[in-house]
A and B are shown apart, each in its own frame.
Chain A
Amino acid sequence: MKIGAFILSLLLTIGLVFLLNTSLPFGGSTLPAIGNFLSPFTGFWQNAKVQSNYTDTTFDFPNLKGKVSVAFDERLVPHIFADHHEDAMFVQGYITAQQRLWQMDISTRSSSGRLAEVLGPNMLDFDKRQRRMGLFEGAKNEEIHWRKDTASLPLVEAYVNGVNTYIENLNPKDYPIEFKLLGYQPEPWSILKMAQFYKSMERALNGRENDLETSNALQAFGSGTFEYLFPQRNPKQTPVIPKGTSWDYLEGGSLEKEYDIPPLLFDSTAIGFSVRNKNYERREKPIDFIGSNNWVVSGAKTKSGNPILCNDPHLQMTLPAIWYEVQISTPRANYYGVSFPGVPGVVIGFNENIAWGTTNGGHDVKDWYKIAWADEEKNHYLLDGKKVPVEKVVEAIKVKGEATVYDTVRYTQFGPIVHENENSPYKDMALKWITNVPDEDNSFKTFWGFSEAKNFDDFLAATEDYGSPNQNFVFASKEGDIALRISGTVPIRKNNGKFIQDGSKSENNWQELLPHDKMPLVKNPQQGFLSSANQNPVDETFPTPMPGIYNHYRGRIINAKLEAMTDITAEDMLAMQVDNSSLLAEELLPLLLKNLDESSLTPLQLGLVRILSDWDFKFERDAIAPFVFEEWRLQFYDLLWDEMAAIESEAPILYPDTWRMIEILETDPLNAFFDVKSTPEREGPKEIATQSFVKMATELKEHFDDSEYKWADYKSTDIKHLARLEPFSRMDINCAGHKESINATQQTAGPSWRMVVELGDEVKAWGVYPGGQSGDPASPFYDDMIPKWADGEYYELFFMKNASDRRQNVLFEYTFSD
């Protein structure tokens, strides 16, 4: 009897402990083992100790060459002062790991398709896609290349050592909360992981292409209508390099002869191109155009006579944030800016002599080639009439709790066959992509070069090392120079890569890469300012075509504003960076209102017309007109381009740009595209404008009854946690902006770092980003900058002159020595 009670009790206890020690499914995901997770000695409560790191601490690491002191300011920005450059990189790695370790891990896993290994079979398809695009292979090649550069290798290795020193000294109870929640462990950092991070940025910034949509549009409409709907250039656009800039610096003059680029052509029948398929596998809806702004004004235009440089790169906004702010001072230079967690150095910033900023180039560097198979097994393909074998790469993808999955990817001379699915419109197409083309560039050297540059010559030399993704680098120096260099790698190929290419002819492959010293450059222009906002890089006089998908509004607003301004102050620039006015609205709304037939409208609808007529075209967060306009614009666009929607049900198709729609509305109102094909009546701009207005009013009806509903609610900006964990996300941020205004804040993307630098005797700088320095949700520094960012306000950056500078408050200090 007593034995029975004992055994029963023992079994009950063991069962309970076992249950609490096991990961259990919970609402579609897996909960960590509850016992370990809730125990305050091992589980998540340990993460509540985060503030105990915020105190003066001394570290001894024998691999350091000398002493390093780090002052953390009131936003937890580390100011690293080191006697040796390598030590500075070691400490940058150590501190970044302390603040952002899980983010570093997950972003590199995501890039290389290693998520299923820790998150389970749900992520397998995602992993396969990343691998099949060649991102893991590309990262491996990058690592081999980086290891050859003996000058930068010790610095890169020092950073890796710093991260790994942190990990080695980390007790599992102190793992970042996400590791505990998702139930896996950090692994050592490496140069390969850095390369994987670079690939994720290249994937995001090099990915813009619409070859298939463009090819389908040409096939569907014929070349006359195609050229009418999709002209090469917006005549109102002001290119990145100002019109009239001399190309004399390009040795050898015209490149056109040298490269012999044939005119645009696309012969779909020649490659048997037909993708119409009712069951086609749709590509994920491309996210709205994400871009960036940078500009610089020379001393001639500023009140103080000092050049001012501004930059706000727009990216997907996440928590932890993509940027980590840092100041690094070595005997070689003292510089400040934002870095990528996991990668040494500073990407955007300034030093005591110069400042630099960047926007994405957006050039088309991604092409699809239709492969002609020579056998049914797809083991050989035809190239210039000859049978060529594919090279097979087997991707081994580990899956949590299941057997490793082996995925065979066929590589052709153009690149990998990404999609094998019968219903994919990309099936049998090879991907040629700058991201995966091995090159001899080294972007690390570029950013170190910028960080340590003293003048324009140093800046220019640093741009020569740059590989990808293509960037518009803007520059200003204390000496008074301003400049803009478009850097990166532009392939020379037939059709400029605009259409799907015939992959059975090697002559269609990329012929050459435009040499770096032939990339566009402008220095000290007459106009006294330079800017870029992802628009067309050059006018038609530049000898080499630079096709791409470009922005059409932000560049025009920036240039018009800067042109008109004089006696500019830093405050003017801060205000301009958060400007919410929109040229798109200014140009489209009057046309829509002009075409609106008010006779059939209800009193409420007439009230909306009044609100729109009084609007100043600014997308302020607490305004009503912006969301009325935005919904109307989208409804109008959809109704007008019903022809595209009809084709889209069977094949991906290109839609016209809004600027071109406005032009057509202005100059060609009788065009047949205004007719809605599904109705017997013949519609024109009036009918489209009126019908879309009524549709808008119906769609938004419930919101008109809610006096609290404003533009910020319609736009609904969310900053999501990288694992989409809602409690760690910050949703419905109350902020202004529109994708076509300078403050290009959208639903999930927006200004990821706002920076203004005035290069006077004493460098002054301001900055803010939508996040915080700590990646730990338990830290008050996890999201502390979001309110100021949302309000369009800035922090004055503490650019320390030396290690004992205390002009701003320092919270605590770390001291590292050997």
Chain B
Amino acid sequence: MKNFLFLLIAIIILGAVTQPFLPWWSIAVVAGVLAIFFSGRPAPQFFAGFLGVALLWGAYAFFLDGKNGSLLSNQMGQVFNGLSGMGMIIATALIGGFVGGFSAMTGSLGRRMFMKSS
């Protein structure tokens, strides 16, 4: 449980620091590499990665959307089959979440494989 929280927080912090300067997919590397450092079973690691990136992306989107009064998200939602502005935030969080989750799970499986062989 402790490692779950550590991994989650580490992903949020390292993601927030690196994402503004790196391509979007670098979040997969961040989640995957961090999962190697924190031991844990693949399933909780998946959820830590999922939540970490979903929270990071969702919260930042929510923050930007708030400053904009949802002017843009409401229009973008219409481009994407009639989603609402909040729907766009959720979609953002979900997409980020899955990338983070699978990456962390991969990292976790990699760690186990490495530990076993060494």
Using a CB–CB distance below 8 Å, which chain A residues touch chain B? 2-3, 5-6, 9-10, 12-13, 16-17, 20-21, 34-36, 38-52, 177, 181, 725-728, 777-780, 782
Contact = CB atoms under 8 A, between A and B. Distances in A.
B71 A42 contact: no
Contacts of B4: none
Interface residues of A: mostly helix, strand, loop or mixed? helix
Given A20-B99, A42-B24, A51 B68 contact: yes
Contact of B102 (A9, A34, A726, A728): A9
A2 B110 CA distance: 8
A780 B25 CA distance: 32
Contacts of B68: 48-51, 778
Q: Which of B42, B71, B113 has the most CB of A within 10 A?
A: B71
Nearest to B70: A48
Contacts of A34: 95
A13 B112 contact: no
Contact of A48 (B67, B79, B99): B67
Given A20-B99, A35-B99, A36-B24, A725 B79 contact: yes
A17 B32 CA distance: 13
Interface residues of B, number: 40
Contacts of A181: 79
Contacts of B98: 16
Given A9-B102, A20-B95, A727-B78, A44 B72 contact: yes
B7 interface: no
Nearest to A15: B102
Nearest to A48: B68
Contact of A51 (B20, B28, B67, B75): B67
A177 B72 contact: yes
Interface in B98-118: 98-99, 102-103, 105-106, 109-110, 112-113, 116
B30 to A, nearest CB: 12
B25 A13 contact: no
Q: Which of B24, B92, B99 has the most CB of A within 10 A?
A: B24
Nearest to A9: B106
Interface residues of B: mostly helix, strand, loop or mixed? helix
A777 B76 CA distance: 9
Contacts of B42: 5, 9
Interface in B1-41: 19-20, 23-25, 27-28, 32
B86 interface: no
B109 A2 contact: yes
Nearest to A46: B64
B24 A43 contact: yes
Given A45-B92, A49-B67, 17 more contacts: A5-B42, A6-B106, A6-B109, A9-B109, A12-B106, A13-B99, A17-B99, A21-B24, A39-B24, A39-B92, A40-B57, A47-B72, A50-B68, A726-B78, A727-B75, A727-B77, A777-B75
Contacts of A12: 102, 106
Contacts of A35: 24-25, 95, 99
Contacts of A39: 19, 24, 27, 57, 92, 96
14 contacts: A6-B110, A9-B102, A9-B105, A9-B109, A38-B57, A41-B60, A44-B72, A45-B64, A45-B65, A48-B72, A49-B64, A49-B68, A50-B68, A778-B72
A28 to B, nearest CB: 13
Contact of A777 (B60, B72, B95, B113): B72
Nearest to B22: A41
Nearest to A41: B19
Q: Which of A17, A34, A41, A177 has the most CB of B within 10 A?
A: A41
Nearest to A725: B79
Nearest to A39: B24
Contacts, number: 117
Contacts of B20: 41
Q: Which of A13, A17, A49, A52 has the most CB of B within 10 A?
A: A13
A338 to B, nearest CB: 25
Interface in B41-94: 42, 57, 60-61, 64-65, 67-69, 71-73, 75-79, 91-92
B106 A10 contact: yes
A16 B23 CA distance: 15
Given A17-B28, A35-B25, A49-B68, A727 B79 contact: yes
A512 to B, nearest CB: 53
Contacts of B28: 13, 17
A16 to B, nearest CB: 6
Going nearest first, the 10 A-B pairs with the smallest beta carbon separation are A778-B72, A727-B78, A48-B68, A39-B24, A6-B109, A41-B19, A727-B75, A40-B60, A13-B102, A40-B61
A5 B106 CA distance: 9
A5 B109 contact: yes
Contacts of A21: 24-25
A20 B67 CA distance: 27
Contacts of B32: 13
A16 B113 CA distance: 22
A43 B109 CA distance: 31
A2 B67 contact: no
Contacts of A9: 42, 102, 105-106, 109
A20 B92 CA distance: 12
B48 to A, nearest CB: 15
Contacts of A780: 69, 71
Given A2-B113, A16-B102, A726-B78, A40 B23 contact: no
B64 A40 contact: yes
Contacts of A10: 106, 109-110
A45 B76 CA distance: 10
Nearest to B49: A13
B90 to A, nearest CB: 11
A69 B78 CA distance: 39
A151 B102 CA distance: 63
B64 to A, nearest CB: 4
Contacts of B65: 45, 48
Nearest to A728: B75
Contact of A3 (B76, B91, B113): B113
A181 B42 CA distance: 36
B80 to A, nearest CB: 9
Contact of A6 (B24, B67, B78, B113): B113
A16 B64 contact: no
Nearest to B94: A38
B70 to A, nearest CB: 9
Nearest to B112: A2
Nearest to A780: B71
A40 B98 CA distance: 15
Nearest to A13: B102
Contacts of B72: 44-45, 47-48, 50, 177, 777-778
Nearest to A776: B72
Nearest to B61: A40
Q: Which of B20, B77, B98, B102 has the most CB of A within 10 A?
A: B102
Contacts of B110: 6, 10
B113 A778 contact: no
Nearest to A10: B106
A725 B80 CA distance: 12
Contacts of A48: 64-65, 67-68, 71-73
Contacts of A46: 64
A177 B28 CA distance: 25
Given A9-B109, A45-B64, A777-B72, A40 B92 contact: yes
